[in-house]
Structure formats: C-alpha cells, structure tokens
Amino acid sequence: MKIDSSGDTIAAIATAVGRGGIGVIRVSGPGTYGIADGLFESRSGIRLSGASPMKALFGRVVRRRNDIPETLDEVLCIGFRAPRSYTGEDVVEFFCHGGRRVLTNILEECYRLGARAANPGEFTQRAFLNGKMDLPQAEAVLDLIKADTEGAFRAARRHLEGKLSAAIRRERDRIAELLSRIEAVLDFPEERLDGEVPQRLGDECRDIAARIETLVASSRSARILKEGLSVVFAGAPNVGKSSLFNAFLGCDRVLVSDLPGTTRDSVEAAIELGGIELRLWDTAGLCEDTGLLEAESVRRSRRMIEEGDLILFVIDGTRPPQPAEEEAWKSLEGRERILVINKSDLECPGAEAARNRFTGGPCVAASARTDGGLEELKAMLEKQIASWTRWPHEDAWVYTSRQKELCQRSREYLEKASEAFRQGLSAEFAASDLRIAMEALGQLVGEVTTEDILDLVFSRFCIGK
C-alpha cells in the first residue's frame, strides 16, 4: 500500500455485496468528475461537474459501446468537492439499484473511464492522509462498521469523537516540554542538572507514565464492549450444563440425556445481554479419564475453562458435592466464576453443603427444567458486565491492541527515563528514552506514520470504506 496515492482516482462498491434496495458506488480522486460526466446523464441535462456540490441529481448511467448508448441503471448521483468530502478529495457517489450485476457493470464503466479499484480501507486512508481524521478515529470507523451489539456501537461512537487522541496529545506535549528542558541542559552543559532537579524530572516522567497506565487500563472495558465475553458452562458430567445452556438460549441447541458423557465437544452460541455479546460455551463434563475420547473431551473443556472470561460452574443440587467438583472449583480461584446449583425443581439436599464449601464467588440456585433462577443468573451476569464496562475516565479509552501496545511502549520508556534520573545517569540517557516514549504516542495518533502502520490499520477494512 502506498502512502502517497494521490493522483489516482479510485472506485468501489461501498455497500455490502448481495441484493439490496440500493447499492452505492463511491469514486474519489482528481479524475472523479471527469468519470461522472462520462457516464452519468442527469434528467435535467445539467452535468454533474456543473451542478452545486452535495446536491442530488437524478438521471441514468449510460455505457457506450461503439457510440451506441446503453442505459445501465437509473440512479441518484451526489458530488462532493475537495476538501469538503469524506476523503478530502473530489468524491462522487452513485445510488443505484442494489443488484450485484447492476453495480459491477457501473463499476467497470468507472474503471474504463480511468478509475482503479480501491484497496480495502483506501477511502478512509485518504481521509486520514488529508487530515480529515486522525488514526484512532479511522480505527473507530472500522469498529463502527463492525459493531453488532449496542455496547460495541457505543464504544465505537465514543471512539469516533477523538477523545483518546486529545488525551494522548496532552501527554505527548508534556513529554516534549520535558525534553526541551533537558535538551537545553545538554546544549549548555554549564547549566548542569544538579541537586533535586533530576529527581523532579524523574517524578514528572513517572507522573506521565501513571496517566498513560490509567488509559491502558480502560482497554479491558473497551475490549469487552467491542468483542463481548465468553461464558463457559463447566462442571461434572450429568449436572445439567447442556440443559442450562439450552435454557439460556431458549431453544434446544444441544443434546441432553440422562447418560453422563452426553456432550463430547465444546459448543458455542451467542446471545446479547446488557448490550454485550455473550459467547456461551457448553463443554463436556469434567470426569476421571476412562478412555481416549473422554480424555480428549476433558482436555477441550479445560482449554475452554482456561480461555473463558467467566465460568458458570454447575453442580447438581440433588446430590452431595463431590470432592472432584470441589477441587475443580478451587482451581478456579482468582477467576470470574459463579456457582450454579442446578435441578432446584427437585429436592436439593446437597445445596446447603455446596453453599458452605464452594465459597469465593456468587451462587445461584437454578432449574433448567422450569427456568427457575435463570432471570436471577442473567441479572447477576448483567451486573457483572456493567461493572466491567463502566470506566471512570469516560472521555478517553484505549480501544485497539495497536493503541494499547504503543501506550505500553511509551510508559515503559518513561519509566526508564525516570530510572535514569534516579540513578544520576547523564541526561542524554533519559532524553533518548523520552524521545522513544514520545514517538510511540506520535504513532498512536498517526502523526508519525510508516507504510507498515497504515497497512496494519487499513488492511483490516472492507473495500469501499
């Protein structure tokens, strides 16, 4: 991908592939109006290049073969003049009928008149290169397109407001100011960093590092909003994991039977709860290995339990808790877990003992058969999710792993600089660390870019955006 792609005019279908009421073709670049005038005939007879920008014109797209005109579609067409467009260049959008062939025919006509196919994310990349948005905002556009749940949507909207960039620039400016003070000393060695001054500079570095660390901490909440959570139903065989999984989904998704060992493989299904996507996992019962297949089933269950964000540990209330179950519960210490005492529609003599022994996490009595306790369990999950996604620094969140890594890099070098001051090393060491810390923040907001960075960000987009 080239950073400087100006000069080219690009075109793509901007709507999802398939059949739709309308489909949009977007063209951007210096040749845009020439292409539009070459294929679009407005009903009023005005050429698009002569019409006022952002005014919709109705007309038809015409393909000419050997000077014989053929109507490809009747469309609405809107032109935008640089720099007042999404990309900051001349842009034209054709609102056509949404069939694949209709759109492809018109797109091919755009190519014939001089456009080339846009790369994934190239429109947004141009918007970034033309200063219409910064890099975190461009990343937010991608998140917004991908958002399936209310939580992911809200996170992307907030991301798009650009508050992270403002917060990052503030810290970057503080580093720059520190650097200028240190460089003054380096330039005029007679003004030595003496006495408590290095100490104070070190404290300032640590202070900025702490602020960045606070931003990094928000990334967990952002990840949950964006990607949701995995919730694993785990426990001994036959306790009713699959029955509860089905009850949660409200359908008979997986097989249930009174034979232990019914579930052999981990099965996933997604629901939305509290605006967050929950990926529910039904797993095979944890049992003593009796054969190769069982051993593999248990291995898979263990892996899911390790990877899950939250474990619903299910036990059967009609029988006393088993030592192996207690052991499994103990091994989950420090993890997010909820004890579910199932089969509460029956006599549950084991429930009391379980409540006493399985401590260190909330507990709920439930029945997959009658749906008893399910609302309570869902409310418990919802509360948990709300506490994870509530972030006090509402204004600035770290959303992507790229942003998180760069924040961490910056923080690490700020701490190195602080340490260099503390040890009384030459100010040059600290200065070089601070430059790296500053550059990481510059990369985050997109002020320092390389083709690699742009590739990383924009290649994840779809074509047409």
Ligand X SMILES: Nc1nc2c(ncn2[C@@H]2O[C@H](COP(=O)(O)OP(=O)(O)OP(=O)(O)O)[C@@H](O)[C@H]2O)c(=O)[nH]1
Residue ranges that bind ligand X, judged by CB under 6 A: 237-243, 256-258, 260-263, 284-285, 342-343, 345-346, 367-369
Judged by beta carbon distances under 5 to 8 A according to partner kind, the member of ligand X, Mg ion, none in contact with residue 98 is: none
SS3 73: strand
CB nearer ligand X, residue 213 or residue 294:
294
Residue 8 structure tokens = 């080219």
CB nearer ligand X, residue 228 or residue 308:
308
CB nearer Mg ion, residue 137 or residue 246:
246
Judged by beta carbon distances under 5 to 8 A according to partner kind, the member of Mg ion, ligand X, none in contact with residue 418 is: none
SS3 176: helix
CB nearer ligand X, residue 346 or residue 456:
346
Judged by beta carbon distances under 5 to 8 A according to partner kind, the member of Mg ion, ligand X, none in contact with residue 50 is: none
Q: What distance in Å separates the CA atoms of residue 111 and residue 118, rounded to the nearest whole number?
A: 10
Q: What distance in Å separates the CA atoms of residue 366 and residue 353, rounded to the nearest whole number?
A: 16
- Residue 266 near residue 311, CB atoms below 8 Å: no
Residue 432 found at the interface with Mg ion (CB under 5 A)? no
Residues 6+ apart with CB under 8 A from 152: 143, 146, 225, 226, 227, 228, 277
For the bound state, the minimum distance from the C-beta of residue 287 to ligand X, rounded and expressed in Å, comes to 8
For the bound state, the minimum distance from the C-beta of residue 20 to ligand X, rounded and expressed in Å, comes to 42
Residue 173 structure tokens = 């400016």
5, 104, 105, 262: residue in contact with Mg ion (rule CB under 5 A): 262
Using N-to-C axis directions, what is the helix angle for 427-445 and 163-187, rounded to 10°? 160
The H or E element containing residue 91 is: strand 91-98
For the bound state, the minimum distance from the C-beta of residue 302 to ligand X, rounded and expressed in Å, comes to 14
Helix/strand/coil (H/E/C) assignment for every residue in 410-460 = HHHHHHHHHHHHHCCCCHHHHHHHHHHHHHHHHHHHCCCCCHHHHHHHHCC
Residue 301 found at the interface with Mg ion (CB under 5 A)? no
Question: Which backbone phi and psi does 21 adopt, to 5 degrees?
Answer: -55, -50
Judged by beta carbon distances under 5 to 8 A according to partner kind, the member of ligand X, Mg ion, none in contact with residue 237 is: ligand X
How many C-beta atoms surround the C-beta of residue 61 within 10 A?
Answer: 23
SS3 252: coil
CB nearer Mg ion, residue 87 or residue 242:
242
State the greatest distance between any 2 C-alpha atoms of the chain, in Å, as a whole number.
Answer: 88
CB nearer Mg ion, residue 134 or residue 325:
325
For the bound state, the minimum distance from the C-beta of residue 291 to Mg ion, rounded and expressed in Å, comes to 17
Residue 238 found at the interface with Mg ion (CB under 5 A)? no
For the bound state, the minimum distance from the C-beta of residue 267 to ligand X, rounded and expressed in Å, comes to 10
* Total chain residues near Mg ion (CB under 5 A): 4
149, 242, 342, 400: residue in contact with Mg ion (rule CB under 5 A): 242
Residue 406 structure tokens = 């760069």
CB nearer Mg ion, residue 258 or residue 452:
258
Distance from the Cα of residue 252 to its chain's centroid: 31
For the bound state, the minimum distance from the C-beta of residue 340 to ligand X, rounded and expressed in Å, comes to 10
Judged by beta carbon distances under 5 to 8 A according to partner kind, the member of Mg ion, ligand X, none in contact with residue 243 is: ligand X
For the bound state, the minimum distance from the C-beta of residue 317 to Mg ion, rounded and expressed in Å, comes to 17
CB nearer Mg ion, residue 244 or residue 276:
244
Strand 267-273 relative to strand 276-282, pairing: antiparallel
Which of the ranges 122-130, 194-202, 242-250, 407-415 carries the binding residues for Mg ion, by CB under 5 A?
242-250
Residue 230 found at the interface with Mg ion (CB under 5 A)? no
Residue environment code for 72-103, b if the CB has 16+ CB neighbours within 10 A, otherwise e? bbebebbbbebeebbbbbbbbbbbbbbeeebb
CB nearer ligand X, residue 247 or residue 276:
247
- Residue 115 near residue 9, CB atoms below 8 Å: yes
For the bound state, the minimum distance from the C-beta of residue 242 to Mg ion, rounded and expressed in Å, comes to 3
Residue 263 found at the interface with Mg ion (CB under 5 A)? yes
DSSP string, 374-408: HHHHHHHHHHHHHHHH--S-TT----SHHHHHHHH
CB nearer Mg ion, residue 36 or residue 286:
286
Exposed (0-12), middle (13-18) or buried (19+): which is 408, by Cβ within 10 Å?
A: middle
Instruction: Kindly provide the residue ranges of all beta strands, DSSP E only, lying in 102-161, ordered along the sequence.
Output: 116-117
Which of the ranges 117-125, 240-248, 400-408, 421-429 carries the binding residues for Mg ion, by CB under 5 A?
240-248
Judged by beta carbon distances under 5 to 8 A according to partner kind, the member of ligand X, Mg ion, none in contact with residue 411 is: none
CB nearer ligand X, residue 124 or residue 243:
243
For the bound state, the minimum distance from the C-beta of residue 247 to ligand X, rounded and expressed in Å, comes to 8
Residue 334 structure tokens = 């420090």
For the bound state, the minimum distance from the C-beta of residue 325 to ligand X, rounded and expressed in Å, comes to 12
- Per CB under 5 A, residues contacting Mg ion are 241-242, 262-263
